[in-house]
Structure 1
Amino acid sequence: MENAQKTIVGIGNALVDVLVQLKDDHLLEQFGLPKGSMTLVDADTSQKILSATAGLESARETGGSAANTVRGIAQLGAKTAFIGKINADEMGHFFRKSFEDLQIKPHLLTGNIPSGVAATLISPDSERTFGTYLGAASEMVASELSDELFAPYDYLHIEGYLVFNHELIEGILKIAKKNGLIISLDMASFNVVEANLDFLKRLVNDYVDIVFANEEEAKAFTGKEPEEALLEIAEQCSVAVVKIGKEGSLIKAGGQQVRVAATTVNVVDTTGAGDVYASGFLYGLANGFSLANCGKLGGMLAAEVIQVVGAKIPDQAWPKLLAAVEEMKA
Structure 2
Amino acid sequence: MTSLDILGIGNAIVDVLARAEEDVLVRHGMAKGGMALIGPDQAETIYADMGPGVESSGGSAANTCAAAAALGAKVGYLGKVADDALGAVFRHDITAAGVHFPTPPLSGGAPTARCLILVTPDGQRTMNTFLGACVTFGEKDVDPAAVAAAQVTYLEGYLYDPPAAQAAFRAAARIAHAAGRKVAITLSDAFCVERHRDAFLAFVKEEADILFANEAEIRALYHAHTFEEAAAQARADVGLAALTRSEKGSVIIAGAATHEIAAVPTTVLDTTGAGDAYAAGFLAALTAGHPLPECGRWASVAAAEAISHFGARPQADLKALVAGGAQGIAAALG
- TM over 0.5, shorter chain: yes
1:168 to 1:318, Cα distance in 2 relative to 1, 3 A: same
Q: Per-residue CA shift, 1:32-70, capped at 9, x if unaligned? A: 5455442212223324444554xx432122211111111
How far is the alpha carbon of 1:28 from its aligned partner? Answer: 4.8
Task: Report the TM-score, using the length of structure 1 for normalisation.
Answer: 0.87
Inter-partner Cα distance in structure 2 for 1:307 and 1:77: 21
Q: Does 1:63 align with 2:58?
A: yes
How far is the alpha carbon of 1:27 from its aligned partner? Answer: 5.5
Inter-partner Cα distance in structure 1 for 2:39 and 2:85: 18
In structure 1, give the amino acid aligned to 2:305: E
Q: Does 1:130 align with 2:127?
A: yes
* Structure 2 residue aligned with 1:306: 307
* Structure 1 residue aligned with 2:6: 8
1:45 alignment partner, one of 42, 46, 55: 42
1:142 alignment partner, one of 139, 143, 160: 139
Q: Per-residue CA shift, 1:220-271, capped at 9, x if unaligned? A: 2221523342232122222111111111111121232211111222222211
* Structure 2 residue aligned with 1:283: 284
Percent of counterpart pairs with the same letter? 32
Inter-partner Cα distance in structure 2 for 1:300 and 1:15: 25
SS at match of 1:169: helix
Deviation larger for 277-286 or 57-66: 57-66
How far is the alpha carbon of 1:137 from its aligned partner? Answer: 0.9
Q: Does 1:76 align with 2:68?
A: no
How far is the alpha carbon of 1:185 from its aligned partner? Answer: 0.7
Q: Per-residue CA shift, 1:45-103, capped at 9, x if unaligned? A: 324444554xx432122211111111110000111000000011111111101111112
* Structure 1 residue aligned with 2:214: 214
Q: Does 1:200 align with 2:200?
A: yes
In structure 1, give the amino acid aligned to 2:17: L
SS at match of 1:120: strand
1:322 to 1:42, Cα distance in 2 relative to 1, 3 A: farther
SS at match of 1:212: strand
Question: Matched residue pairs, number?
Answer: 318
Contact 1:218 1:224 (8 Å CA) reproduced: no
Inter-partner Cα distance in structure 2 for 1:168 and 1:47: 30
What are structure 1's unaligned runs of at least 5 residues?
325-330
Inter-partner Cα distance in structure 2 for 1:48 and 1:278: 33
How far is the alpha carbon of 1:214 from its aligned partner? Answer: 0.9
Q: Does 1:159 align with 2:156?
A: yes
Q: Per-residue CA shift, 1:189-215, capped at 9, x if unaligned? A: 112222222221211111110001111
Contact 2:282 2:295 (8 Å CA) reproduced: yes
Q: Counterparts of 1:199-278 in structure 2 under 5 Å?
A: 199-222=199-222, 223-278=224-279
Inter-partner Cα distance in structure 1 for 2:297 and 2:225: 24
Contact 2:78 2:141 (8 Å CA) reproduced: no
Inter-partner Cα distance in structure 1 for 2:282 and 2:95: 23
In structure 1, give the amino acid aligned to 2:15: D
Deviation larger for 310-319 or 6-15: 310-319
2:83 alignment partner, one of 82, 88, 98: 88
Contact 1:273 1:311 (8 Å CA) reproduced: yes
What are structure 2's unaligned runs of at least 5 residues?
326-334
Inter-partner Cα distance in structure 2 for 1:219 and 1:283: 26
Inter-partner Cα distance in structure 2 for 1:219 and 1:34: 18
Q: Does 1:115 align with 2:116?
A: no
In structure 1, give the amino acid aligned to 2:210: I
SS at match of 2:158: helix
1:89 to 1:240, Cα distance in 2 relative to 1, 3 A: same
Contact 2:123 2:268 (8 Å CA) reproduced: no
SS at match of 1:173: helix
Contact 1:19 1:121 (8 Å CA) reproduced: yes
Contact 1:40 1:134 (8 Å CA) reproduced: yes
1:274 to 1:79, Cα distance in 2 relative to 1, 3 A: same
Task: Report the TM-score, using the length of structure 2 for normalisation.
Answer: 0.86
